[in-house]
Amino acid sequence: MAILKVDTISGIGTEGPVFEGDIEFTSQNFLTLPKGDTTQRGRGRGLWAGGTIGVSDATIQYAELSSQGNTIDFGDLSAVNDSPSATASATRAVFGGGRNHPSYYNKIEFVTIATTSNVTDFGDLTAARSGGQGCGNQTRGLFGPGFNPSGSPTTINTIDFITIATTGDAQDFGDFTEVIRVAALSSPTRALFGGGYGPVSPNLFNTIQFVTISTTGNGQDFGDITSARFNMAGGGFASNTRGLFSGGGSSGSGYVNTIDFVTIATTGNTTDFGDMTIAGSGVGANSNSIRGVLGGRTTPSKQNVIDFIVISTTGNAVDFGDLLNVFANCGGTSDSHGGLTE
């Protein structure tokens, strides 16, 4: 049993707190004090994969979500890829689908988040697609609906799922409204898909649908976003209780800077959260339990800006750093989205 007798504690500097008093401990018991405040920053690593810099790109880049700064090169996808979907567990990030026009991909690839490297083959989606987004929990990853102009049908409204720890082909999870460019986010139990546009006339949607991640089935009505728009920030932009929909394109006002939020466990409409630093669509997003981080966008010019917000509060986004280049449509995910590790 450890005995700690402390008369006073003086200021905490780079070497930690200074104790005045007697400290006795056995080899089985010791005191560990954290260096630095993580309560307002969280932990975890965020990844952005592929996207377009005017042409499709294969770069994977990362940032430590607790520290503001620029991204660092992680590795490469197997091919250049505009708009890959992304999902992750606490250890593995998985990227599925995407395109290098006119080619559309059904391949799924993965990396170990803690170790920089190029991707390894995982399996295949049920159908080649782009314009979808991914989400999931520690066990199961989901890939949302998308499109393939050369496919039949051209709009894929199927939600696919994988077991993240086990390589193999995706399986059919259920169906979603025939909408593409939807945003996806998740808690450990529930996945939400919001916004998008339909293939018949330029119909923009403000609807949100949800599924229970552990149970296959079709999307169910959740509520509405404050305004109809498509290609909002995606990639698990959520804590374990609150999900956010950010930016996007709108037929009336062009590019949107609005951030909306919902309580994931409770169906209902979104509430205004604040604004991004720059309006745009095709934002790659990731998060930990504290922070939501938004990287890149089309304005319509491509941007390298990264913003962040504190998920539990409301307010406008502030500057985080820069991506390696000007990007849009990156597949964003992290090892701590939706409360995976905290």
Domain containing 113 — which CATH number?
2.120.10.80
Based on the fold, state whether residues 188 and 120 are members of the same structural domain: yes
Residue 168 · residue 208 · CB < 8 Å: no
Q: For tokens 């090892």, what's the residue?
A: 335
Residue 1: give the domain boundaries: 1-33
What is the percent of the chain where pLDDT is above 90? 75
**pLDDT per residue over 58-98, tens digit each?**
999 999 999 999 999 999 999 999 999 999 999 999 999 99
pLDDT (0 to 100) of residue 45:
97
The pLDDT-based confidence of 253 (bands split at 50, 70, 90) is: low
Structure-token pair, residue 249: 């394109």
Q: Answer whether residue 127 is part of any domain.
A: yes
Q: Answer whether residue 43 is part of any domain.
A: no
Q: Residue range 143-170: average pLDDT?
A: 92
Q: How many domains does the chain have?
A: 2
pLDDT (0 to 100) of residue 36:
44
Based on the fold, state whether residues 26 and 82 are members of the same structural domain: no
Cα 27 to the center of its chain, rounded Å: 42
Least confident of 16-25, 53-62, 308-317: 16-25
Hey, which of 142-156, 167-181, 266-280 has the most confident mean pLDDT? 266-280
Select the more confidently predicted residue: 282 or 234: 282
Based on the fold, state whether residues 70 and 25 are members of the same structural domain: no
Based on the fold, state whether residues 53 and 21 are members of the same structural domain: no
- Residue 69 CA to residue 285 CA, distance in Å, equals 15
Measured CA to CA in angstroms, residue 203 lies from 144, 251, 302 at distances of 19, 9, 25
**pLDDT per residue over 282-339, tens digit each?**
999 999 999 999 999 999 999 999 999 999 999 999 999 999 999 999 999 999 998 6
pLDDT (0 to 100) of residue 68:
96
Q: Answer whether residue 199 is part of any domain.
A: yes
Q: Residue range 122-144: average pLDDT?
A: 95
Select the more confidently predicted residue: 17 or 156: 156
Residue 9 · residue 18 · CB < 8 Å: yes
pLDDT (0 to 100) of residue 200:
64
Task: Say whether 116 sits in a helix, a strand or coil.
Answer: coil
Q: Answer whether residue 41 is part of any domain.
A: no
pLDDT (0 to 100) of residue 339:
67
Q: Residue range 251-255: average pLDDT?
A: 80
Based on the fold, state whether residues 29 and 52 are members of the same structural domain: no
Q: Answer whether residue 290 is part of any domain.
A: yes
For the beta sheet containing 258-263, the strands, ordered from the edge strand earlier in sequence to the opposite edge, are 242-246, 258-263, 271-275
Based on the fold, state whether residues 99 and 126 are members of the same structural domain: yes
* Average pLDDT along the chain: 87
The pLDDT-based confidence of 43 (bands split at 50, 70, 90) is: confident
pLDDT (0 to 100) of residue 193:
95
Based on the fold, state whether residues 115 and 196 are members of the same structural domain: yes
Contacts 24+ apart (CB under 8 A), 123-126: 123/162, 123/167, 123/168, 123/169, 123/170, 124/169, 124/170, 125/96, 125/97, 125/160, 125/169, 125/170, 126/158, 126/160, 126/169, 126/170, 126/171, 126/172
Task: Say whether 338 sits in a helix, a strand or coil.
Answer: helix
Based on the fold, state whether residues 269 and 127 are members of the same structural domain: yes
Based on the fold, state whether residues 25 and 68 are members of the same structural domain: no
- Residue 322 CA to residue 193 CA, distance in Å, equals 27
Q: Answer whether residue 38 is part of any domain.
A: no
The pLDDT-based confidence of 1 (bands split at 50, 70, 90) is: very low
Write the DSSP string, 187-249.
Answer: -SSEEEEE--B-SSSS-B--EEEEEETTS----EEEEE-SS--BS--BS--B-SSEEEEE--E
**pLDDT per residue over 100-111, tens digit each?**
989 999 999 999
The pLDDT-based confidence of 151 (bands split at 50, 70, 90) is: confident
Give me Rg for the CA atoms of the chain: 21
Based on the fold, state whether residues 228 and 115 are members of the same structural domain: yes
Based on the fold, state whether residues 161 and 18 are members of the same structural domain: no
- Pick from 149, 43, 138: which is nearest to 88 by CA? 138
Q: Answer whether residue 24 is part of any domain.
A: yes
Cα 325 to the center of its chain, rounded Å: 19
**pLDDT per residue over 257-270, tens digit each?**
999 999 999 999 99
Based on the fold, state whether residues 26 and 67 are members of the same structural domain: no
Q: Answer whether residue 86 is part of any domain.
A: yes
Q: What is the pTM (predicted TM-score) of this model?
A: 0.87
